[in-house]
A and B are shown apart, each in its own frame.
Chain A
Amino acid sequence: MLNNEAKLNSKIFDRDVELVPIRNGYGDGLVIAGERDKNVVVLCADLKESTRSHLFAEKFPERFFELGVAEQNMAAVASGLGISGKIPFMSSYAAFSPGRNWEQIRTTISYNDANVKIAGSHAGISVGPDGATHQAVEDIAITRVMANMTVIVPCDSNEAEKATEAAVKIWGPVYIRLAREKTPVVTTKETPFTPGRAEVFWDSSIHSTSSGQARRARLKPEVAIIACGTLVHSALVAAKELEDEGIGTIVVNNHTVKPMDEDTILRVAKKTGAVVSVEEHQIAGGMGSAVAEVLAKKHPTLQEFVGLQGVFGESGPPDKLLKKYGMDVADIKRAVKKAKKRK
């Protein structure tokens, strides 16, 4: 059942669930952050509208800087601002930032411990028709590997807004991963969000008292699905369908890849004895790898990985791409069943 304490969107499983791009939450969050703190400044590399930073630009033109197609410069200029008392947010497509400017981020932001927030939009294969050049599927790996870096992967626009506001309060470099396509709204304004604290969104062993959900029998969770970003909704749909088939699961929204909430990961791993990680990213080096690192060290647990399997994507509609490349609801269900069988 959905965890009531998570105060999720009541229409989460409905056909007419609201669809909003995750990046919109970033745009709204920037405006709120800019209102609260005059030191918030925004840098843009010729993608004002698609990163939604135009909302901030309209409201605070004197604190908005357009750098043109120059992501390396953007990172190092942000570094200079960040070490001078400003709180710069720099946004572009994730393939370009932190992709193209990785070294500038490493040296001038991460090693320099500059207070810079990096927003990478258009992450994942669901970018769609633009094709693999614009589908960042390595960004979690290349950011989480850096010392001093916090890595947050919001699951919807509400969470992206909260992550943006929260990033202002985290001293030091933060990477926020955003997506292009409209994504089902999973959370509400009331859903708790604390960086570094994963939330259980679904647990088949608990009963729901909300009117929206039919009262069902309790099912012992047999597999923990640990998801982040755009695929959290798919993970919940998979959990619901599996419950109908009599398979109990727990779904964790593991939005902060670094520092990871080890306590929650270990708790659900111990409770179920099997884990499935779900992300729109290369399996190598991604959120699932980070989960495996925690488990291997503290509580070795069998794990299945849902993600991109070492190949590039291609052009196409997002849903068809997710299906072709093994990251849709059916794939998550298959992975859960496989994990269950391996136990």
Chain B
Amino acid sequence: MPLSEEKEKELEKTANNIRATMVETLERAGSGHSAGPLGMADIFTAFYFHILNHRPSQPDWEDRDRLILSNGHITPVRYVAMAYAGYFPLEELKTLRQINSRLQGHPHRGSLPGLETTSGPLGSGLSQACGVALAARLDDKKHRIYCFMSDGEQDSGNTWEAVMFAAKYKLNNLTAVLDRNNIQIDGYTEDVMPLEPLREKYESFGWHVLEIDGHNFEQIIDAVTEAKAIYEAPTVIIAHTIPGKGVSFMERNYEWHGKTPNKEEAEKALEELRIAAERIKRTQ
């Protein structure tokens, strides 16, 4: 589906709203991760509001596309996107990380309909996605399987076991989106454990590789469309993103990987997002 200018503006607006709600949600929760979820807001928006074939009112619809989140710690952005998409009331976001909540600190499949898998411990989401893709093939199903993963979890051996497996079985119904934001808890990825050349690594493992700006809706959607046309291999979309995107003092700063804003910081962030919202409105 090509992207009209009007639709693109609408996605920008939605992503901005998701960011603002996320800042409020994280501030209220008082613990969790900020930079990763903000950086992935555009990609989640593109998927939940344009790419995915899904039914928020029927989360277990058999033919839905599967969105598997490997790096479970960025789940706040998924929760907020799901709430905006209509999976559950926005009000429920207030329960994130609280007792008796469906919104666990890291996603738990059994707690909230619409979550495909349980994740948090890094490096095994791509394997789970491989299993889901294999099952779809065995059942001759046409839905797509998407796996979002972080760059930090490329450190993990389990990830590369899955990379080999997907190539061996030519899982062309599987598209991975790798959030290349260059940060992880202990610092910049290239300091913690150098990953580059990442593109060449995936290519040599038999994958089709696309690289995009993870904040450009047209590029996100075009890459996913291209991946559907690749029949001989799984595709990985290396999405270059800015961690903390949309909040200037969080952007590109790994110290914001694993913490949440306090009240003052949240207000400052929300003010920036309000200004961004007005800018989007003006250009519409």
Contacts and interface: CB of A to CB of B under 8 A. Distances in A.
The answer to whether A and B assemble together is yes
Of listed B116, B127, B136, residue having the most chain A CB within 10 A: B127
Contacts of B169: 65
Given A72-B157, A73-B161, A107 B121 contact: yes
Given A77-B134, A77-B165, A104-B158, A83 B127 contact: no
A166 B124 CA distance: 28
B165 A67 contact: yes
B110 interface: yes
Contacts of A77: 127-128, 130-131, 134, 162, 165
Contact of B109 (A67, A81, A83, A86): A83
Interface of A: 41, 62-63, 65, 67-68, 70, 72-73, 75-86, 88, 103-104, 107-108, 111-113
> Closest 3 A-B residue pairs measured CB to CB?
A80-B131, A76-B127, A84-B135
A80 B157 contact: no
B108 interface: yes
B124 A108 contact: yes
Nearest to B135: A84
A171 to B, nearest CB: 13
A72 B130 contact: no
B138 A79 contact: no
B117 interface: yes
A85 B121 CA distance: 24
B119 A85 contact: no
Interface in B96-147: 108-110, 116-121, 123-125, 127-136, 138-139
A111 to B, nearest CB: 5
B117 A73 contact: no
Contacts of B127: 72-73, 75-77, 79-80, 104, 108
B164 interface: yes
Interface residues of B, number: 32
Given A77-B131, A82-B131, 15 more contacts: A72-B158, A73-B158, A75-B127, A76-B128, A77-B128, A77-B134, A79-B131, A80-B117, A83-B131, A104-B124, A107-B119, A108-B128, A111-B118, A112-B109, A113-B110
Contacts of B117: 79-80, 83, 108, 112
26 contacts: A41-B138, A62-B138, A63-B138, A65-B169, A68-B161, A72-B157, A73-B127, A73-B130, A73-B158, A75-B124, A76-B125, A77-B127, A77-B130, A77-B131, A77-B134, A78-B131, A80-B128, A80-B132, A81-B135, A83-B116, A85-B139, A86-B131, A104-B127, A107-B119, A111-B118, A113-B109
A62 B140 CA distance: 13
B134 A65 contact: yes
A80 B161 contact: no
A62 B169 CA distance: 12
Contacts of B128: 76-77, 79-80, 83, 108
A118 to B, nearest CB: 14
Contacts of B116: 83
Contacts of A111: 108, 118
A113 B108 CA distance: 10
A70 B135 contact: no
A114 to B, nearest CB: 9
A83 B132 contact: yes
A73 B162 contact: yes
A82 B134 CA distance: 11
Contacts of B129: 80
A143 to B, nearest CB: 18
A86 B164 CA distance: 22
Contact of B130 (A63, A68, A80, A113): A80
A79 B131 CA distance: 7
Interface in B238-262: none
A85 B120 CA distance: 23
Of listed B125, B129, B132, residue having the most chain A CB within 10 A: B132
A112 B157 contact: no
A84 B134 CA distance: 9
Nearest to A82: B131
B118 A84 contact: no
A196 B158 CA distance: 34
Contacts of A75: 124, 127
B204 to A, nearest CB: 17
Contacts of B123: 72
Contacts of A86: 131, 135, 138
A312 B139 CA distance: 45
A111 B121 CA distance: 12
Contacts of A62: 138
Nearest to B147: A80
A88 B128 CA distance: 13
B124 A72 contact: yes
B131 A76 contact: yes
B118 A76 contact: no
Of listed A77, A78, A103, A108, residue having the most chain B CB within 10 A: A77
B140 to A, nearest CB: 12
A111 B109 CA distance: 9
Nearest to B72: A107
Contacts of A104: 121, 124, 127, 158
Interface string B77-102: 00000000000000000000000000
Contact of A107 (B124, B138, B162): B124
Nearest to A41: B138
Contacts of B121: 103-104, 107
Contacts of A84: 131-132, 135-136, 139
Contacts of A107: 118-121, 124
Contacts of A108: 117-119, 124, 127-128
